[in-house]
Amino acid sequence: MTSANVSTQPSLAAADPEIAALIADENLREHETLRLIASENYASQAVQEAAGSVLANKYSEGYPGKRYYEGQQVIDQVERLAISRLQALFSADYHVNVQPYSGSPANLAVYAAFCKPGDTIMGLGLAAGGHLTHGHGVSVTGKWFHSVSYGVRESDHRIDLDAVRALAKEHKPKLLWAGTTAYPRTVDFAAFREIANEVGAIFAADIAHISGLVAAGEHPSPFGLADVVTSTTHKTFRGPRGGMIFCKPEHASAIDKAVFPGLQGGPHNAATAGIAVAAKEASTDAFKAYAKQVVVNAKHLAEKLVERGFRVITGGTDNHLILVDVTPKGIAGKPAAQALDRAGIVLNYNAVPFDPRKPFDPSGLRIGTPAITSRGMGIAEMDRLAAWIDLVCQSPSDEALLAKIAGEIKDMCNAFPAPGIRLGKGQA
């Protein structure tokens, strides 16, 4: 019998041509469309190489220096490197756990560390731009805990901190979340710290969407204020799919036990390596320039959409995303998103605050600039993008127009190669 060594192992294309073809299709789709989903980005080739490496072969229950399996000499170094780089990047004297499989498990670990079933928790309501794991009813966080949601003002759609304080004083939450998934303005972490102090709550900041902006100084930081900070490692951070938790040193044991063995077994070591690479990339001047341009692009695009008659929630943005009510254009969010997708503009339909429409057929679109900024696009491309969005929303059934726009977008994308995308022969 011939041993299975490198020289005899077939490539993916030979071993599984169906999957190889699907990956090639996705590779091409990500290259030739404008990716405006606010939670998506392009990971660099270096991040992808680390995340797809031989490190995925190793099982490593436990933490560096305290594993349950042997053979951890290399893995421990990888995890410690990821941790030290993140501490330096965020200038944080916080304990760091890089083992959560993604952002939602990271948030669940916070509950497991600090709460018991039935405890009161508070977070921004989903309809106001919050996340499912901040206590929404369809999430286990809304089923296992007594969830009190705060919202935004109807007048300007900004978080009503006076209402947050009043609710907190009334309900005395064990855990207070400050975090968003569809909120275009900066979060006042200092104000949340004050409120948490007043009611004796653990203050948790979820920066999944904005961690890259925080790292680059383009959004106020919760470090030094929050008891615990959670985040995904992709989105604006441009790492692999994963999660991370920062906490004050006095909470380190509770957080680590909540992650393992509380919620999961061994970490995904290849993802940990990808996080380490992303943290190193995020410490560069190039990353800081990217993060600054993300915000510049979002602000400019929001302005152009307002000029074209769209109703932009809060009138603009301070971060990487824009929430747009498209109903003034005579179309709802879902058909608009579907038509835009056919035109090569990929985003998601989304509810707007106080939306009179149903969640699966809402009034709005959520638009994000991280991925297109990673390609090097700037305000000139935002001008073209606003015009294309307007044309599609005015004529969503004009398939000839949609095809024409898709062709124009493909031409523009060819001029802005995406990080980590390697096209095959004849694909460009």
Looking at the structure, do residues 219 and 73 belong to the same domain, yes or no? yes
pLDDT digits (tens, 9 = 90+) for 42-87: 999 999 999 999 999 999 999 999 999 999 999 999 999 999 999 9
Determine whether 49 is an active site residue. no
Q: Give mean pLDDT, residues 334-341.
A: 98
Looking at the structure, do residues 189 and 328 belong to the same domain, yes or no? no
Catalytic residue among 30, 61, 341, 355: 61
Last residue within a domain, chosen from 256, 282, 308: 282
Looking at the structure, do residues 210 and 346 belong to the same domain, yes or no? no
Which is nearest to 321 in space by CA: 426, 235, 253, 193? Answer: 235
Looking at the structure, do residues 136 and 257 belong to the same domain, yes or no? yes
Last residue within a domain, chosen from 227, 249, 282: 282
Looking at the structure, do residues 246 and 300 belong to the same domain, yes or no? no
Determine whether 235 is an active site residue. yes
Residue 243: inside a domain: yes
* Domain, as residue range, for 148: 51-282
Looking at the structure, do residues 275 and 311 belong to the same domain, yes or no? no
Determine whether 61 is an active site residue. yes
Q: What CATH number does residue 380 fall under? A: 3.90.1150.10
Show Cβ contacts of residue 20 under 8 Å, excluding neighbours closer than 6 positions: 11, 12, 13
Residue 6: inside a domain: no
Looking at the structure, do residues 245 and 316 belong to the same domain, yes or no? no
Residue 366: inside a domain: yes
Determine whether 206 is an active site residue. yes
Residue 290: inside a domain: no
Looking at the structure, do residues 272 and 305 belong to the same domain, yes or no? no
Share of the chain above pLDDT 90, in %: 95
Share of the chain above pLDDT 70, in %: 97
Residue 393: inside a domain: yes
Asked if 58 contacts 75 with a C-beta cutoff of 8 angstroms, the reply is yes
pLDDT digits (tens, 9 = 90+) for 85-124: 999 999 879 999 999 999 999 999 999 999 999 999 999 9
Residue 318: inside a domain: yes
Looking at the structure, do residues 156 and 203 belong to the same domain, yes or no? yes
Give me the chain's average pLDDT, please: 96
Residue 89: inside a domain: yes
Looking at the structure, do residues 301 and 269 belong to the same domain, yes or no? no
Domains contained in the chain, number: 2
Catalytic residue among 79, 160, 206, 281: 206
Catalytic residue among 67, 80, 153, 241: 241
Q: What is the pLDDT of residue 1?
A: 42
Catalytic residue among 40, 59, 76, 288: 59
Q: What CATH number does residue 265 fall under? A: 3.40.640.10
Looking at the structure, do residues 73 and 147 belong to the same domain, yes or no? yes
Determine whether 232 is an active site residue. yes
Catalytic residue among 181, 230, 232, 327: 232
Last residue within a domain, chosen from 219, 249, 282: 282
Residue 421: inside a domain: no
Q: What is the pLDDT of residue 8?
A: 77
Looking at the structure, do residues 217 and 272 belong to the same domain, yes or no? yes
Catalytic residue among 174, 193, 235, 299: 235
